[in-house]
């Protein structure tokens, strides 16, 4: 095989109580990527979209991830990549992770599947570092593996796949920009022990609820005492969106990634669409442009087109 085209999906990280560790994979939106083998140890990036992303491999997350792949292989080969971005950069639904994960999963297929899942997450993480400057795998892991994931550690890489019942996510993406660096800057440097105890109790019970398929336990565990109270101030009408979504039947939800997207979970498609209407009702009043996605949690991750 000399060439492969993959679909690389959006993901949600910072899942309510699971800041910097829990993430899940969506079916839509996704990026379209074609990766081709070339007989020179180089990486070439082409964007077939209008986002004006950097084309130098060192500055593009897909390019950086592929350079990391080249460092791990002996052969005198390289990659050409064509990216059609459909996940808007800076949206909070893992736009950069999709490019990094899509690139390494595609390259791995061209190389005869020689890297393990943990290695793929690690390689893609080097790409993701271009976007955030830090080692984060909480969007990368669900993008590579699909489903619901917990990143227990990045050094050494230790990713756990979590069973989950049927779940839908409704995601509103207000078309405003929140700088991830600013969203990090405003976080508390220290956390009161009382809040930490409540938070880690909820992470534990959320995992138990997901594994057992206990929707009531999932709903009870979807609380965030540490990050949401600080970051929600960056997102216009956050409380109104949450209240209207809960009234429409949401199990719970919060800020997706570093924002500005907000996601809400539900048990079925009908409720997910009712939440979409509720979000629409709130945001139509704000004068801010927005997009809403409804998607099941996808078990697949990056797939061959």
Report the residue number, 83 or 151, with the smaller CB distance to ligand ADP. 83
- Rule CB under 6 A: is residue 257 a binding residue for ligand ADP? yes
Using CB under 6 A, pick the residue from 15, 16, 17, 61 that binds ligand ADP. 61
| Residues 266/174, Cβ–Cβ less than 8 Å | no
Using CB under 6 A, pick the residue from 9, 23, 90, 142 that binds ligand ADP. 90
Using CB under 6 A, pick the residue from 8, 14, 30, 91 that binds ligand ADP. 91
DSSP 234: G
Phi, psi of 207 (to 5 degrees): -60, -45
Binding mask 109-148 for ligand ADP (x = CB under 6 A): ---------------------xxx----------------
User: Which span sits near ligand ADP by CB under 6 A: 21-29, 94-102, 114-122, 141-149?
Assistant: 94-102
Distance CA(42)–CA(175), nearest Å, equals 36
CB atoms within 10 A of CB 25: 30
Q: Give buried/exposed letters for 186-206 (b at 16+ CB in 10 A, else e).
A: eeeeeeeeeeeeebeebbebb
Catalytic-role residue among 11, 27, 122, 128 = 128
- Rule CB under 6 A: is residue 69 a binding residue for ligand ADP? no
- Rule CB under 6 A: is residue 14 a binding residue for ligand ADP? no
Burial class (CB in 10 A: 0-12, 13-18, 19+), 292: middle
Render 77-93 in DSSP notation, one character per residue: -EEEEEEE--S-TTSSS
Is 128 in the active site? Answer: yes
Is 190 in the active site? Answer: no
| Apex 298 CA angle, 293 and 304, nearest 5 | 105
Using CB under 6 A, pick the residue from 4, 7, 22, 53 that binds ligand ADP. 53
Report the residue number, 121 or 248, with the smaller CB distance to ligand ADP. 121
Using CB under 6 A, pick the residue from 8, 14, 30, 99 that binds ligand ADP. 99
Q: Which of 190, 191, 195, 207 is nearest to 147 (CA)?
A: 207
Q: Residue numbers of the site for ligand ADP (CB under 6 A)? A: 53-54, 60-62, 83, 89-97, 99, 130-132, 180, 257
């Amino acid at each position: 095989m000399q060439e492969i085209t993959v679909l690389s999906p959006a993901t949600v990280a910072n899942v309510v109580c699971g800041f910097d560790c829990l993430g899940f994979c969506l079916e839509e939106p996704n990026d379209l990527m074609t990766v081709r083998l070339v007989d020179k140890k180089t990486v070439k990036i082409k964007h077939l979209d209008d986002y004006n992303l950097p084309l130098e491999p060192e500055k593009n997350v897909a390019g950086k991830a592929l350079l990391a792949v080249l460092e791990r292989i002996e052969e005198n080969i390289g990659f050409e990549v064509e990216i059609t971005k459909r996940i808007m950069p800076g949206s909070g639904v893992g736009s950069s992770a999709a490019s990094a994960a899509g690139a390494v999963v595609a390259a791995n297929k061209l190389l005869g599947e020689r890297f393990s899942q943990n290695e793929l997450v690690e390689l893609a993480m080097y790409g993701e570092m271009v976007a955030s400057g830090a080692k984060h795998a909480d969007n990368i892991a669900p993008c590579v593996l699909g489903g619901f994931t917990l990143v227990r550690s990045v050094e050494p890489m230790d990713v756990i796949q979590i069973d989950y019942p049927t779940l839908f996510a409704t995601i509103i993406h207000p078309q405003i920009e929140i700088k991830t660096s600013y969203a990090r800057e405003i976080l508390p440097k220290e956390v009161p022990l009382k809040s930490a105890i409540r938070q880690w109790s909820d992470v534990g019970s959320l995992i138990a609820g997901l594994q057992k398929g206990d929707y009531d336990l999932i709903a009870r565990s979807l609380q965030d005492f540490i990050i949401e109270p600080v970051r929600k101030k960056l997102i216009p009408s956050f409380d109104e969106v949450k209240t209207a979504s809960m009234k429409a039947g949401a199990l719970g939800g919060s800020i997706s990634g570093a924002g500005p997207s907000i996601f809400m979970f539900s048990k079925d498609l009908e409720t997910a669409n009712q939440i979409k209407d509720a979000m629409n009702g709130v945001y139509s009043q704000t004068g801010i442009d927005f997009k809403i996605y409804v998607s099941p949690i996808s078990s697949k991750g990056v797939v061959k087109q």
